[in-house]
A and B are shown apart, each in its own frame.
Chain A
């Protein structure tokens, strides 16, 4: 049986006296979109950061494609070797690099041949429909274009899993709806395993194959969205 792209087993994490994650176990199936839903401070962002390797769990283990990347309070594999894509809540676009340069930085960190980088970057930009803005700096892009640039940066390295931390939270409702459907299309096109963190139920309804509800650092319920699952079939 093929290992899950992402699996957490009995993961706990504390910040000082605050318990961010309390004995969390979760497995994400390949090609599925899992939405982590919960109020602020429930530990959903910490969960994402632990998968990416930006935080180390105190107990439990994390495996990616069956390989243990964190265990017993230690990071065994650094973030850049985990092959994950990450879209941050504030996007964290590098202000001194154009969109194309940002993508080139990502590809330059992989084993992509220099000649291939341009083609791969253009493909990623085409997927998120911002080819015409490749030469622009972040401050020269609109809010929606910045979101697309962040998405392009996250997928250009062909990650095994795409992690998104409330990327649309600062957008107005109309743009948010557009980008939701765009992300759903992208996820289906690339058959991406996706973990999406939000406190918005509309996001969850539009994007999720499965919804994981969290409260106070614990998973309290897991729902499977049959309609989206059937759509995918």
Chain B
């Protein structure tokens, strides 16, 4: 038993140390640097009257995107949970796809589609981010609806018609999840760099990037990052607290029959298909039209072969490292006491919410120095560190949710039979988590493949991933070539999703 505890302590300890170095240290460095430079020039930058415009633009972008995404996503989530839709699993998968598309790729499609200056405005950025982020609200609402005890709805159905039950009983019960999802969308929207960057909307993320990459003013970039970091931290913590165990526990209600709206099938299906057509099909078609106009798809792909190969291999390596680290963090979180579990969840949500440009500056601050840390700076390893910093938190949350579904008593039974901790995890727990592990890998791969905000800051000279190449080509290459690469990038992202969906459906995963 002692040996078993020792191996557990060592493995989790090493994972925790790696997590601190990769994910926490860059942010801690940034916070420490800012506190060290408090007052003087920092205060002058933050009190600058131009900051008010930046603040209002950022707030408008975040609130607008949260409202649009919730207005689209929450009703779709209700439909997925309570309307007997045909081909529901397929509809859910396709409707969830936008959240995994690189935002700047979708923004590019809308720019090609746009015919007026309106495209370069905050409302356009709000609309695009709303269409990208609604799946978060949709999936959170559906999950929350499924967790409502059917008996509570039955008790209401005895005295009230289904619509009133939905309005007065079900929706108030799922409201905390919908609000928490809206807060997470708000944070992701104000953290987004690619969409406002392309649409020339001045917000904190673009200003931080400009201060660092164009003005070479590291301290200004750090100071500008502070308001963004504070808002993201506060909102992410509120969202994580609101969600509570709902973020990790994925059990479904087992008692009673929930309210089902059979009569809403047709309008719900029309709405679902309409949203999918607007958010997924239209951008892909626009990119396809633009790419084919120049007949440059093969040439563009061939011309960017190095960046494509680089991106694919780095994303695959990054996803593997992310899952290898997040697995132990997820297991530790799932088996921790409730208070620690909640605290870990808040920290993970908070880290995931940190804007990419801030993570990038933190990484540069930590790794761009002489000695051991500096040895990695200027190499491709910085991309991998970027992926670890950005995506370990979300992978750990997915894997914690998966680990929670494996009962502790199974581990106890193995331990009682004499198996050590590592043997128990390898032989009993991991085989039952394989779908969750595969899902976490696919999510990490897709996010890493489309990652732009950190990569563009930490990329070594002469090295580029596909997103960096696309983003830098926008200004000085024919739109057909840019569209061709963006389209190729979308197809690469859809391929593992489709493969995962096919594998999951063969295994009849609910």
Contacts and interface: CB of A to CB of B under 8 A. Distances in A.
Interface in A88-136: 88, 90, 92-96, 105-106, 108-110
A83 to B, nearest CB: 9
Interface in B149-182: 149, 151-152, 154-161, 164, 168-169, 172-173
Contact of B156 (A52, A94, A157): A94
Nearest to B160: A109
A84 B160 CA distance: 11
A80 interface: yes
Contacts of B157: 54, 78-80
Contacts of B169: 94, 105
A88 B160 contact: no
A84 B364 CA distance: 68
Nearest to B154: A54
Interface in B377-400: none
A26 B481 CA distance: 77
Given A80-B158, A94-B156, A106-B159, A88 B151 contact: yes
B155 A88 contact: yes
Contacts of A90: 151, 255
A168 interface: no
Contacts of B152: 92, 94-95
Contacts of A80: 157-161
A105 B161 contact: no
B257 interface: yes
A217 interface: no
Nearest to B169: A94
Given A54-B257, A105-B168, A92 B151 contact: yes
Interface in B123-157: 149, 151-152, 154-157
A106 B351 CA distance: 45
A132 to B, nearest CB: 23
A85 interface: yes
A86 interface: yes
A116 B169 CA distance: 22
Contacts of A94: 152, 155-156, 169, 173
B168 to A, nearest CB: 6
A78 B161 contact: yes
B126 to A, nearest CB: 31
- Top 6 closest pairs, chain A to chain B, by CB: A109-B160, A92-B155, A92-B151, A106-B159, A109-B159, A86-B158
Given A79-B158, A94-B169, 9 more contacts: A54-B158, A54-B257, A78-B157, A80-B157, A90-B151, A90-B255, A92-B155, A105-B159, A153-B155
